Amino acid sequence: MNKYKKIGLTALAGSLVAGSVSAAEMSVSGSATMTYTGGDEKATHGNGWVLSDAVAFSASGDVNDFTVTYSVELDGADTSTGGVDNYSIAMDFGDAGVLRFDGHGGSTFLSGNDDVMPTASEEPWDVITGADTGIVNGHSGNNAWRYDYSHESGLNLTLTYLNADDDVNDVSYSDYGVTYTGMEGLTVGYGTGDVEVTTGTKSDESTLFAKYAIGGATVGIQKSEQDNETSSDVESTGIGISYAVNDDLTVSYGSHTLEKVGSDDQESMAIGASYTIGSLGVAVSMHTVDNVNNTSSDDREGYQMVLTFAF
């Protein structure tokens, strides 16, 4: 091949590469959160104060008519991963949906919708140590696939898959969920999945929820079930109501009942409030849980205050 042909082919190859990949757009966001937890006499909180922080980097660019986005979060509080947290790559195919691979920190439909009731702060079963033990939330882990599709009618579909890993789950996990948001103010959703973290301990889990917002008020109800092959079945019912007093102040009330066959019901209640002052967010909540983890007479109270600085 002569010199002129080499130059021509090199130029053609360069133009093809330039046409298929555009320059990436970079963005950075972050937050720092100070949390104080107390009141639960049966839990060890140390001095009560915890600082968590995160700086998220995102790079996005077009590749052959679809958009690829890589995201990574630096979390100084997460020493188990060397400070690198929540990293993923997503491929946005426009009307065909979004396919994402979460290397760390991703959520499945059930884990991301274990309690979607309106609240100004935390879920009723949160804050009190041990009260979250029996919550129906599917399964999640690192290196998971997720596909999200949204139709203009308001119908949304989520499919997730986590391959088997001896260190995390003996049997591959998958779930799916659908939500409908086609009516103003209304959100309805359903999801289901099979969990078998340890071979021979399979459970069928599902959740159904509805929320409706009108004016400054949002009300909701959620029912979840866990049918276990080798242990007692679990059912839960959660309700919540929140009210936006103005653009800055929101108050809420929520309750949650966790029923386990053969045990006393765990009954949780919380009231909360949140207030925003520029980039500063303040949230407080007070919690009461009877029969923690379905254990008779293990009744506790606790509270939490959260200060979040966004930048």
User: Does 64 score more than 90 pLDDT?
Assistant: no
User: Does 17 score more than 50 pLDDT?
Assistant: no
pLDDT tens sequence across 179-202 = 999 999 999 999 999 999 888 889
> Closest Cα to residue 125, out of 138, 136, 109?
136
The reported pLDDT for the residue numbered 77 is: 60
Percentage of the chain with pLDDT > 90? 77
pLDDT tens sequence across 119-162 = 999 999 999 999 999 999 999 999 999 999 999 999 999 999 99
Other CB atoms within 10 A of residue 299 CB: 14
> Closest Cα to residue 233, out of 242, 241, 225?
225
The reported pLDDT for the residue numbered 150 is: 97
The reported pLDDT for the residue numbered 1 is: 47
The reported pLDDT for the residue numbered 226 is: 97
The band of 81, judged by pLDDT with boundaries at 50, 70 and 90, is low
Mean model confidence pLDDT for the chain: 90
The mean per-residue pLDDT over the stretch 204-230 comes to 97
pLDDT tens sequence across 152-172 = 999 999 999 999 987 788 899
The mean per-residue pLDDT over the stretch 246-264 comes to 97
**Which of 47-51, 73-77, 139-143 is predicted with the least confidence, judged by mean pLDDT?**
73-77
**Which of 3-17, 32-46, 196-210, 280-294 is predicted with the least confidence, judged by mean pLDDT?**
3-17
User: Does 112 score more than 80 pLDDT?
Assistant: yes
Name which residue leads in pLDDT, 19 or 238: 238
User: Does 19 score more than 50 pLDDT?
Assistant: no
Q: Which helix (H) or strand (E) holds 5?
A: helix 3-20
Reported pTM? 0.88
Distant-in-sequence, close-in-space partners of 278: CB < 8 Å, separation ≥ 6: none
Q: Which residues pair with 208 in a beta bridge?
A: 190, 223
Which CATH number does 26-310 carry? 2.40.160.10
User: Does 100 score more than 70 pLDDT?
Assistant: yes
Distant-in-sequence, close-in-space partners of 233: CB < 8 Å, separation ≥ 6: 225, 226, 227, 260, 261
The reported pLDDT for the residue numbered 80 is: 61
Other CB atoms within 10 A of residue 234 CB: 22
Name which residue leads in pLDDT, 90 or 166: 90
The mean per-residue pLDDT over the stretch 49-77 comes to 89
Give the span between the Cα atoms of 299 and 231, in whole angstroms: 24
